[in-house]
Amino acid sequence: MLEDLAEGADLDTLHGRSMIACQGQQVSLNFWRKLRERRNYQVGVMPIYRGPSMLCRLLAISCLSSFAFLANAAAPNQVTFSVAEIARRVGPAVVMVRMSGPSGDADGSGFIVDASGTIVTNLHVIEGATTVAVKLPNGDIYDEVRVRAFDARKDLAIIQILGYGLPIVELGDSDATQVGQPVVLIGNPMGILQGSVSTGVVSGIRETAAGGGRVIQIDAAANPGNSGGPLVNASGEVIGVLSFKLRGTENLNFVVPINYARGLIASTASYDLKEFAVRLSGSSSSLFEPAKQDFPKRWKSLVSANTFLVRVDAEHVYVENVMSDEIKRLGGFSNWELKKSGDKYIGTRRAGRPCIHDGLTYEQNFCQLEDSTAITLLSPTRIEGVISGYPDSAKFSCKKCEFKGDRVERPFVWIPME
């Protein structure tokens, strides 16, 4: 009945349906008339009704509360729809996007904004792709896909298939989005559950971590494969593109406002996936970010003859001692793994190498040892730190794989060789 009221059903029809729902005890025409005439009424006011039926009273309160929920979700005089009606209207234009590339296959979602086959999706859905295919809800598959435009900072891409007369979505104004308004998310979770629908509310409007834009935070459920799917308001208008979810959280998802995509949609450019990859590699998404200095790979010690290979990966540092081919052939290794802790990197060096001990006969053994280590200065021009090891004068038992004596803190200093 609520959907009928929102779509303009006559009062006599609603009155008759309420009679069926209340088992013959009608909700008065006054109730429906008041709902029709006023959308900003106070929730909880009991309408006039005939008969003492508790079921009828509950029906009245339920209709009143539900209508308030949708009425508050849209601007005055703006039509609102039920979730089922939104899915019916928008669902046929929500597509599955499947990519294949050197790193494997992946699935995402997108939605058609022009009947000729213009589709909005996430950039990360097609990034690195050598082939892309699009599947419509009716089963049609399009293997010829070109890229019209993209924005690396906003994670948006506009792709084109060779379509005609395809179903499209209606775009809303994302600038009018308000915290607390109900929303519907449509997509293809796991790449197999095409056309899945979830509901929620707008939890917040956030600035992106890197700056330069905003995202809409929602609590509607989303899974891999939903990326690129539309976020829809109560009026059936797309107001955003699902982009990412915080790992380790439940229903904490973020959406790129649709207004960011409007200029991209108007682009008349068109290029294949190879040209897209070239353009993407040269994109200027980080012009406003500090330039990153290349970190040298090969380092030499100033306190020993050792050489090291160093790799810095966000909050981790990985180090490998360079060894002779003969030692490596016998299984020798020495690897470091450290993680940022405050202003230092703390971790462990794990080493293993063959040795020979003489008992009654010379015998070969393979020993593995671990030492705690810390990097106190990490820069592209100098690395300093300490390792908890043994002095060069300490005696080592190859048979027992252990040193004699106490550990000491041994400082080290490395400089780049490149």
| Residue 310 to residue 317: CA distance in whole angstroms | 7
**What's the pLDDT score for residue 64?**
43
Which of the listed residues 17, 46, 72 is the one where a domain comes to its end?
A: 72
Partners of 157 in beta bridges: 121, 150
Spatial separation of the C-alpha atoms in residues 125 and 129, rounded to whole Å: 9
> How many other CB atoms are there within 10 angstroms of residue 22's CB atom?
21
Look at 28-32, 263-267, 271-275 and tell me which has the smallest mean pLDDT.
28-32
**Strand, helix or coil for residue 148:** strand
Co-location of 27 and 50 in the same domain: yes
Neighbouring residues of 48: CB distance < 8 A, sequence distance ≥ 6: 28, 30, 31
Cα gap 218→201, rounded to integer Å = 6
- Is residue 286 assigned to a domain? no
202 exposure class (CB count in 10 Å sphere: 0-12, 13-18, 19+): buried
Of residues 128 and 283, which shows the higher confidence score? Answer: 128
Cβ-contact 381, 310 below 8 angstroms: no
User: The tokens 């970010």 sit on which residue?
Assistant: 289
pLDDT reported for residue 25: 38
Q: Which amino acid is at 55?
A: L
| Whether residue 134 is found in the same domain as residue 197 | no
Residue 28 per-residue DSSP state: P
Helix orientation angle between 54-71 and 11-21, rounded to the nearest 10 degrees: 130
Structure-block tokens of residue 37: 């005439």
Which region among 105-109, 128-132, 251-255 has the lowest average model confidence (pLDDT)?
251-255
**Does 88 have pLDDT greater than 70?**
yes
Higher pLDDT, 302 or 363: 302
User: Residue 287 pLDDT more than 50?
Assistant: no
Residue 89: the pLDDT is 94
Q: What is the pLDDT of residues 172-196, one digit of tens each?
A: 999 999 999 999 999 887 666 777 8
Residue 247 has a pLDDT of 43
Q: Is 358 assigned a catalytic role?
A: no
Q: Is 357 a catalytic residue?
A: no
Tens of pLDDT, residue by residue over 137-164, are 999 999 999 999 999 889 999 999 999 9
Interval 39-43 mean pLDDT: 38
114 classed as catalytic: no
Question: Is residue 82 a part of any domain in this protein?
Answer: no
109-129 b/e with 16+ CB inside 10 Å = b?
bbbbbeeebbbbbbbbbbbeb
Residue 327 sits in a domain whose CATH number is: 2.40.128
Element housing 175 (H / E)? none
Segment 246-264 mean pLDDT: 78
Mean pLDDT of 380-409: 84
pLDDT at residue 36 above 80? no
Catalytic residue (choose from 124, 174, 196, 243): 124
Which neighbouring-strand residues pair with 290? none
What's the total number of domains in the chain? 4
Average pLDDT over residues 255-276: 92
Which residue is catalytic, options 18, 227, 243, 334?
227
- Which domain CATH number covers 242? 2.40.10.10
- pLDDT, residue 176, reads 93
Condensed to tens digits (0 to 9), the pLDDT of residues 198-232 reads 999 999 998 876 666 889 999 888 877 788 999 99
Residue 23 has pLDDT above 90, yes or no: no
Is residue 59 domain-resident?
A: yes
In a domain, 81, yes or no: no
Residue type, 299: W
What mean pLDDT is reported for the chain? 78
Does 235 or 359 have the greater pLDDT score?
A: 235
Instruction: Tell whether 271 and 187 lie within a shared domain.
Output: no
Which has the closest alpha carbon to 294: 149, 205, 395, 416?
A: 416
Residue 32 or 267, more confident: 267
Counting other chains too, the contacts that 23-31 makes at CB distance below 8 Å and 24 or more residues apart are 23/53, 23/55, 24/51, 25/49, 25/50, 25/51, 25/52, 25/53, 25/56, 26/50, 26/51, 26/56, 27/56, 27/59, 27/60, 31/60
Is 302 contained in some domain?
Answer: yes
Residue 51 CA, chain-centre distance (Å), reads 53
Which has more confidence, 26 or 351?
351
Q: Choose, from 107, 109, 151, 155, the residue flagged as catalytic.
A: 155
Residue range 371-378: average pLDDT?
A: 91
Q: Which domain holds residue 95?
A: 88-168+265-278
Please determine, for residue 43, whether its predicted confidence score (pLDDT) is greater than 80. Answer: no
pLDDT band at 393 (very low <50, low <70, confident <90, very high): confident
Q: What angle do CA 375, 379, 382 make, to 5 degrees?
A: 80
